């Protein structure tokens, strides 16, 4: 028992020494979108789309969203929030876009953060859900044969919705991080209901974080927009933000 305890202590001391010898990577420089700040722009389009832009000497990042996205997320086959991100690099050898480091913080839900959904994993999960729904419907048909047409129609409609969503996700989400053309754009999809998020409020506060090399770009926003958002006006997004 004593020997085992000593081995555990030794491993812990070795781990601590290793961490001290190799300090953690310094935290990324944070640039946060804010009203009136240099390089920060906002546009409210007539179609209900909001665009937040943040520009520096090295890059410009634009976040776009439907102002009714929160309500639409609740009505989808699976509660999913969609945001459109575009990044334009202004210099050669741009920093990598760390797709898996992009996070969406649900501020009112204990600051829970979600990473973008993987399109293939999402498609596989939705297909499993469809299979379970078909099995449940078949079970109900055996108990209530008079409802056969209605139950089978509901399963077919669900399968069609799933198929359409999977095809849209496959072709429209941001998956590649190649910067050959110095520009990237696509949809980011986030789970809007998890064990930690639960039911969405009528209005939610979010914080999107995007990592570009050693710089983290942050966009705080609310859905549906607050009255303060509605009063915003388009600003010049080409003036570099403070570094």
**155/185 same-domain check:** no
**168/178 same-domain check:** no
pLDDT in tens, 166-197: 888 888 999 766 666 788 999 999 999 998 99
d(CA 41, CA 51): 8
Per-residue model confidence (pLDDT) at position 99: 87
d(CA 155, CA 145): 15
CB 89 within 8 A of CB 58: yes
pLDDT in tens, 71-92: 999 888 789 999 999 999 998 8
Per-residue model confidence (pLDDT) at position 176: 67
**105/200 same-domain check:** yes
Q: Is 53 left (phi over 0), alpha (psi -120 to 50) or beta?
A: beta
**156/208 same-domain check:** no
**184/122 same-domain check:** no
In a domain, 8, yes or no: no
pLDDT grade for 14, boundaries at 50, 70 and 90: very low
pLDDT in tens, 94-120: 888 888 899 999 999 999 999 999 989
**156/49 same-domain check:** no
Listed residues 129, 145, 172: the one ending a domain: 172
Per-residue model confidence (pLDDT) at position 76: 84
Per-residue model confidence (pLDDT) at position 235: 43
Listed residues 156, 172, 188: the one ending a domain: 172
**143/98 same-domain check:** no
Domain that residue 222 falls in? 25-116+174-235
Joined together, the tokens standing for residue 242 give: 């403070």
CB 13 within 8 A of CB 19: no
Is pLDDT above 50 for 9? no
**68/81 same-domain check:** yes
Count of other CB atoms within 10 angstroms of residue 201: 12
**Who has greater pLDDT, 6 or 139?**
139
pTM of the model: 0.79
Per-residue model confidence (pLDDT) at position 10: 43
pLDDT grade for 13, boundaries at 50, 70 and 90: very low
**158/42 same-domain check:** no
**95/188 same-domain check:** yes
In a domain, 215, yes or no: yes
What mean pLDDT comes out for the span 140-150? Answer: 91
Listed residues 149, 172, 195: the one ending a domain: 172
Q: Which of these ranges, 101-110, 202-211, 219-228, has the smallest mean pLDDT?
A: 219-228
pLDDT in tens, 23-69: 446 546 999 999 989 999 999 999 999 999 999 999 999 999 999 99
d(CA 9, CA 12): 5
In a domain, 216, yes or no: yes
**164/186 same-domain check:** no
Strand 29-32 relative to strand 183-191, pairing:
unpaired
CATH assignment of the domain containing 32: 2.60.40
Report the number of distinct structural domains present in the chain. Answer: 2
**221/180 same-domain check:** yes
- Say how many residues make up the chain: 243
In a domain, 48, yes or no: yes
d(CA 185, CA 176): 9
Question: Highest mean pLDDT: which of 8-17, 132-141, 229-238?
Answer: 132-141
Q: Which of these ranges, 96-110, 157-171, 227-241, has the smallest mean pLDDT?
A: 227-241
Q: Is 89 left (phi over 0), alpha (psi -120 to 50) or beta?
A: beta
């Amino acid at each position: 028992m004593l020997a085992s305890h000593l081995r555990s202590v030794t491993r812990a001391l070795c781990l601590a020494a290793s961490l001290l010898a190799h300090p953690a990577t310094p935290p990324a420089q944070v640039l946060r979108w804010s009203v009136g700040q240099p390089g920060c722009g906002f546009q409210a389009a007539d179609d209900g789309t909001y665009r937040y832009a943040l520009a520096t000497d090295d890059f410009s990042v634009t976040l776009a969203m439907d102002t009714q996205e929160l309500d639409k997320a609740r009505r989808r086959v699976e509660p999913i929030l969609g945001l459109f991100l575009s990044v334009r690099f202004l210099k050669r050898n741009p920093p990598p876009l760390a797709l898996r480091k992009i996070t969406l913080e649900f501020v009112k839900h204990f600051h829970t953060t979600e990473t973008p959904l993987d399109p293939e994993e999402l498609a596989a999960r939705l297909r499993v859900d469809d299979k379970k729904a078909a099995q449940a419907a078949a079970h109900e048909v055996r108990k209530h044969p008079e409802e056969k047409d209605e139950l089978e129609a509901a399963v077919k409609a669900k399968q069609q919705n799933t198929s359409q969503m999977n095809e849209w996700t496959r072709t429209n989400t941001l998956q590649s991080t190649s910067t050959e053309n110095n520009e990237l754009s696509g949809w980011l999809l986030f789970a809007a209901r998890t064990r930690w998020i639960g039911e969405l409020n009528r209005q939610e506060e979010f914080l999107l974080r995007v990592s570009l090399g050693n710089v983290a770009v942050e966009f705080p926003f609310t859905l549906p927009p607050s009255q303060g958002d509605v009063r915003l006006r388009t600003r010049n997004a080409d003036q570099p933000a403070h570094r």
